Amino acid sequence: MVVLFNLPPTKLFGVKSEGMVFASDSAALLSPDECEIGEKIS
């Protein structure tokens, strides 16, 4: 299972943060050279 959650913009330590949370139930991650931009994760 993969979860991607876009957080609303907020200030952290006085700096605007536009963060995202990405979590997986597996420790195996794709490296950027193994996938294309915008590629669907399955």
| Domain spans in the chain, listed from the N-terminal domain onward | 1-33
* Gyration radius of the chain over CA positions: 13
**28: pLDDT strictly greater than 70:** no
**16: pLDDT strictly greater than 80:** yes
- Give pLDDT, residue 26: 66
In the predicted model, what is the mean pLDDT of residues 5-26? 80
Q: What is the DSSP string of 2-24?
A: EEEEEPPPEEETTEEE--EEEEE
pLDDT band at 15 (very low <50, low <70, confident <90, very high): confident
pLDDT band at 42 (very low <50, low <70, confident <90, very high): low
What residue type is 21 in one-letter code?
Answer: V
